[in-house]
């Protein structure tokens, strides 16, 4: 007898071309030492038939079935006839019920590296086309909305504007003050070395108005609002709420997408202006603390350093950033698969694309501004 | 399992009251589920069947009464002990409740991976057995989002079988399935009960399934908020004179919607 670990055990007796496998002890799956894959040891070339003796078997569960399925698979490959007569009747029923996992055709073909590259390329292309179509839809429906011909609900727009505007003020305030303060601190440290500490106000004002207010606000909104949009739409997709809209003939763009895109596009410039103000205030606080600059002189310096073009650039950026974040978030949400995991994945994707895209767009804006001399 | 059935009931509910906050959904519910039987918890929509099931599977602490699993008072046990008892219960949720970030094979393997010391190869083989028993051999690589309704139920069943439970709880197993698929699922439940000898508690209002596979049951009434009949669904259909049970079994409205009077019935 070949003892197995713990209680399950088997022994074999060969009689001519027939092998008798006698099982004893408990065959319970969660018992340590139950060995399931020993079938190959039974199936010798000389064996043509296999029988079982389970007179001494104790408790058993799916471990016995897994053991028997392994034998069945090996016997099938070696053309050995199996006789289940010696098995407990319930086990015989389960063996009839269980189809062979190995014999079943896999429902997914293993993909090669080239397959995956090709599929990825097709997916990226498809996404590009779909995103372009979405932008087109938004432009068309947005124009219709301006003339009052979109079936968008006003209350949805107001809700979205509140969420993307007023509700975002606390975080914009915190980040704006800190960024303005950091700019002033760096300026005070470095510019003082050259006796140019008085230009801290210029640094903070231009830094915030041209770059940081628009960029930081956009990054905040990509993380906060873009992620929320994508998660909400993905969850609705998973719960078939969007299918319900489509089935009833309610335009998904008008009801779901347009309010979000319009709200974020409208609120971003306002948040940008607020971010400028609060950032300059943060700079003033640090400037006053480190350089003994008065508020009046700080604001005068800041005012003199700024032109309308700086604000126009910042406003244009923030408008584009807002629209970009909303479009990407809605696009990602609409493409989400129908599962709980897809909701998290959609939110992550929307945030990552939103932040990276905003930074890339910012670089393009700066390049263009440099070319046209703004 | 092939061992001899214990003499005591596998599950016994005594004077159970369940609800949320101050709201009582069901009260004074008592029944016994014999080992190896298929027991139905019946009742109309909103009668509290699924709420009662939650108390049986440890998701909702009852307001009153006891749930005895293999003679052990579940809710009187420590949290750690309840966790051990839970491992002897397999649950098929109404929606399947498959973990959407895992493949079917991973769904079935996950309980074993978390709650056993088996090696990966054994876990894989045992998971394949469960999937093959429910007719999903070879489908282990699919994600839940790729499945049809019937496949979701069968995959949920395979996961419920993952730890070879002594008691299998099925919440509306045939809901959302066409009659043929529902019949196949009924046959599968019978095969699994006969094969593994497990006890099955089934929450359903699907009459053909109830008549086809259940040995015993309890009928919950949503208006009186208690059990109004006990017995096998087919016997209740033939013998019970309670107007609500009669109406339910014959798919009729009661003579009047307020006509809910009737003596409790016992066909056991």
Contact B112 A30 (CB under 8 A): yes
The angle formed by the CA atoms of residues A208, A175 and A192, to the nearest 5 degrees, is 50
Q: How far from B101 is each of A44, A315, A344, B110, B214, CA to CA, in Å?
A: 43, 41, 10, 12, 34
Please tell me the least confidently modeled range out of A72-76, B2-6, B20-24, B218-222.
Answer: B2-6
The residue among B217, B169, B268 whose CA lies nearest residue B39 is: B217
Which positions ≥6 away from A230 have C-beta within 8 Å? A329, A330, A332, A333, A336, A346, A347, A349, A350, A351
pLDDT tens digits along A258-283: 899 999 999 999 999 999 999 999 99
Q: Rounded to the nearest 5°, which phi and psi values hold at B19? A: 180, -175
Contact A107 B128 (CB under 8 A): no
DSSP label at A53? Answer: E
Give CA–CA dist B73/B58, Å, rounded. Answer: 12
The angle formed by the CA atoms of residues B91, B94 and B97, to the nearest 5 degrees, is 70
Query: Which residue has 């070395």 as its token pair?
Result: A193
Please tell me the least confidently modeled range out of A227-231, B231-235, B250-254.
Answer: B250-254
Q: What number is the average pLDDT over the span B118-138?
A: 90
pLDDT at A363 over 90: yes
pLDDT tens digits along B9-39: 899 999 999 998 888 999 999 999 999 999 9
Q: Rounded to the nearest 5°, which phi and psi values hold at B217? A: 180, 175
Among residues of chain A, what percentage have pLDDT more than 70? 95
Mutation target vs B (from A7, A26, A52, A61; most B CBs, 10 A cutoff): A61
Closest partner residue to B132 (CB to CB) among A99, A107, A337 is: A99
Which residues on B lie below 8 Å from A30 (Cβ)? Answer: 112, 115-116, 118, 163-164
- Interface subset of A 330-359, CB within 8 angstroms of B: 337-342
The residue among A125, A333, A80 whose CA lies nearest residue A229 is: A333
Which residues on A lie below 8 Å from B141 (Cβ)? Answer: 106-108
The residue among B57, B54, B62, B55 whose CA lies nearest residue B24 is: B62
What was the pLDDT predicted at A311? 93
Closest partner residue to A97 (CB to CB) among B3, B133, B139 is: B133
pLDDT at A1 over 70: no
For residues B179 and B23, is the Cβ–Cβ distance under 8 A? Answer: no
**SS3 category, A269:** helix
pLDDT at B1 over 60: no
Give CA–CA dist A174/A189, Å, rounded. Answer: 22
Give CA–CA dist A243/A338, Å, rounded. Answer: 12
The larger pLDDT score, comparing residue A18 to residue A230, is at: A230
pLDDT at B264 over 80: no
Which residues on A lie below 8 Å from B192 (Cβ)? Answer: 94, 97
Contact A341 B117 (CB under 8 A): no
Q: How far is A110 from chain B (nearest CA, A)?
A: 10
Which residues on A lie below 8 Å from B191 (Cβ)? Answer: 93-94, 97
B266 touches chain A (CB under 8 A): no
Model confidence at A3, pLDDT cuts 50, 70, 90, reads very low
Name the burial class of residue B258, with classes exposed (0-12), middle (13-18) and buried (19+) by CB atoms within 10 angstroms of its CB. Answer: exposed
**SS3 category, A52:** strand
Which residues on B lie below 8 Å from A341 (Cβ)? Answer: 100-101
The residue among B53, B21, B63 whose CA lies nearest residue B220 is: B53
Mean pLDDT of chain A: 87
Q: How far is B260 from chain A (nearest CA, A)?
A: 37
Q: What is the pTM of this model?
A: 0.71
Closest partner residue to B132 (CB to CB) among A90, A93, A101 is: A101
pLDDT at B6 over 60: no
Model confidence at A227, pLDDT cuts 50, 70, 90, reads very high
Contact A107 B125 (CB under 8 A): no
pLDDT tens digits along B48-79: 998 999 999 998 999 999 999 998 999 999 98
What is the residue extent of each domain of chain A?
2-97, 115-372
B167-171 and B72-73 beta bridge pairing:
unpaired
Domains of chain B plus CATH, in order, are 1-87+196-263 (3.40.50.300), 89-164 (no CATH)
pLDDT tens digits along A87-145: 999 999 899 888 765 555 555 556 788 888 888 899 888 878 887 887 787 778 777 77
What was the pLDDT predicted at B56? 94
Give CA–CA dist A350/A329, Å, rounded. Answer: 5
Q: Which residues of A183-195 are buried (b: 16+ CB within 10 A; e: fewer)?
A: bbbebbeebeeee
The region that residue B265 occupies, defined by phi over 0 for left and psi between -120 and 50 for alpha, beta otherwise, is beta
- Architecture in CATH of A2-97: 2-Layer Sandwich (3.30)
Contact B129 A339 (CB under 8 A): no
Give CA–CA dist B219/B228, Å, rounded. Answer: 6
A109 touches chain B (CB under 8 A): no
pLDDT tens digits along A280-317: 999 999 988 888 888 888 889 888 998 899 999 999 99
Tally C-beta pairs within 8 A across A and B.
Answer: 121
What was the pLDDT predicted at A179? 95
Mutation target vs B (from A84, A102, A107; most B CBs, 10 A cutoff): A107
Give CA–CA dist A229/A240, Å, rounded. Answer: 16
The residue among A21, A362, A90 whose CA lies nearest residue A218 is: A362
Which residues on B lie below 8 Å from A57 (Cβ)? Answer: 2
Contact B163 A30 (CB under 8 A): yes
What was the pLDDT predicted at A107? 56
Q: For chain B, what is the largest distance between any 2 Cα atoms, rounded to a whole number of angstroms?
A: 61
Give CA–CA dist A350/A328, Å, rounded. Answer: 6
Which positions ≥6 away from B240 have C-beta within 8 Å? B219, B229, B231, B246, B249, B265, B267
- Sign of the CA dihedral with A235 first, then A240, A241, and A242 last: positive
| ipTM score for this prediction | 0.79
Mutation target vs B (from A27, A37, A66; most B CBs, 10 A cutoff): A66
Q: For chain A, what is the largest distance between any 2 Cα atoms, rounded to a whole number of angstroms?
A: 108
Give CA–CA dist B145/A338, Å, rounded. Answer: 6
What was the pLDDT predicted at A102? 57
Give CA–CA dist A347/A325, Å, rounded. Answer: 12
Helix (H) or strand (E) holding B110: helix B104-115
Mutation target vs B (from A90, A343, A344, A345; most B CBs, 10 A cutoff): A90
For residues A208 and A280, is the Cβ–Cβ distance under 8 A? Answer: yes
- Interface subset of A 4-63, CB within 8 angstroms of B: 28-30, 32, 34-37, 57-63
Which residues on A lie below 8 Å from B116 (Cβ)? Answer: 29-30
What was the pLDDT predicted at A267? 96
Which residues on A lie below 8 Å from B122 (Cβ)? Answer: 29, 34-37, 66
Task: List the strands of the sheet with B38-43, edge to edge.
Answer: B89-92, B167-171, B199-203, B38-43, B216-221, B226-230, B265-266
């Amino acid at each position: 007898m070949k003892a197995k670990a713990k209680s399950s055990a088997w022994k074999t007796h060969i009689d001519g071309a027939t092998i008798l496998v006698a099982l004893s002890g408990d065959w319970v799956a969660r018992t340590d030492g139950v060995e399931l894959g020993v079938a190959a040891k039974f199936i010798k070339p000389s064996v043509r038939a296999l029988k079982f003796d389970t007179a001494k078997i104790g408790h058993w569960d799916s471990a016995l079935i897994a053991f028997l399925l392994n034998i069945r698979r090996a016997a099938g490959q070696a053309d050995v006839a199996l006789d289940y007569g010696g098995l407990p009747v319930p086990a015989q029923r389960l063996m009839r019920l269980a189809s062979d996992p190995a014999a079943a055709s896999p429902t997914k073909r293993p993909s090669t590296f080239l397959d995956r590259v090709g599929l990825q390329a097709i997916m990226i292309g498809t996404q590009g086309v779909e995103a372009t179509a979405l932008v087109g839809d938004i432009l068309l429906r947005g124009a219709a909305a301006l003339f009052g011909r979109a079936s968008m609900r006003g209350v949805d727009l107001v809700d979205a504007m509140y969420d993307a505007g007023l509700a975002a003020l606390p975080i914009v305030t915190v980040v704006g003050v800190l960024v303005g303060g950091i700019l002033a601190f760096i300026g005070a440290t470095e510019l003082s070395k050259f006796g140019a500490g008085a230009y801290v106000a210029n640094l903070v004002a231009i830094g915030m108005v041209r770059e940081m207010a628009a960029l930081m606000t956009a990054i905040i909104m990509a993380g906060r609002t873009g992620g929320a949009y994508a998660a909400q739409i993905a969850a609705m997709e998973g719960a078939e709420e969007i299918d319900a809209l489509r089935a009833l003939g309610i335009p998904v763009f008008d009801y779901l997408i347009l309010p979000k895109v319009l709200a974020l596009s409208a609120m971003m410039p306002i948040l940008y202006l607020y971010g400028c103000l609060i950032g300059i205030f943060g700079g003033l606080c640090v400037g006053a603390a480190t350089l003994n600059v008065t508020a009046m002189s700080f604001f005068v310096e800041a005012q003199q350093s700024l032109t309308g073009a700086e604000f126009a650039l910042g406003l244009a950026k923030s408008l584009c950033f807002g629209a970009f974040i909303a479009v990407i978030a809605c696009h990602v949400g609409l493409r989400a698969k129908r599962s709980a995991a897809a909701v998290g994945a959609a939110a992550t994707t929307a945030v990552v694309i939103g932040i990276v895209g905003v930074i890339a767009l910012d670089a393009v804006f700066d390049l263009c501004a440099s070319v046209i001399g703004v | 399992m092939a061992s001899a059935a214990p003499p005591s009931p596998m599950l016994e509910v005594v004077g159970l009251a369940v609800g949320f906050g101050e709201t009582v959904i069901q009260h004074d519910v008592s029944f016994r589920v014999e080992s190896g039987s298929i027991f139905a918890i019946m009742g109309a929509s909103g009668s509290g069947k699924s709420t009662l099931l939650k108390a049986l599977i440890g998701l909702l602490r009852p307001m009153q009464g006891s749930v005895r699993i293999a003679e052990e008072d579940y809710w009187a046990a420590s949290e750690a002990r309840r966790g051990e008892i839970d491992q002897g219960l397999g649950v098929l949720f109404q929606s399947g409740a498959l973990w959407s970030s895992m493949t079917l094979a991973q769904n079935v393997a996950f309980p074993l991976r978390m709650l056993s010391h088996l090696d990966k190869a054994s876990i894989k083989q045992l998971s394949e057995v469960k999937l093959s028993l429910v007719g999903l051999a070879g489908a282990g690589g699919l994600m839940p989002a790729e499945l049809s309704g019937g496949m979701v139920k069968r995959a949920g069943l395979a996961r419920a079988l993952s730890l070879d439970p002594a008691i299998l709880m099925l919440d509306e197993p045939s809901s959302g399935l066409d009659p043929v698929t529902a019949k196949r699922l009924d046959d599968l439940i019978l095969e699994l009960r006969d094969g593994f000898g497990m006890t099955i508690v089934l929450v359903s209002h699907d009459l053909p399934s109830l008549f086809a596979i259940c040995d015993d049951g309890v009928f919950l009434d949503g208006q009186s908020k208690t059990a109004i009949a006990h017995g096998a669904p087919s016997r209740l259909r033939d013998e019970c004179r309670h107007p609500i049970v009669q109406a339910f079994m014959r798919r009729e409205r009661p003579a009047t919607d307020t006509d809910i009077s009737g003596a409790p019935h016992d066909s056991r």
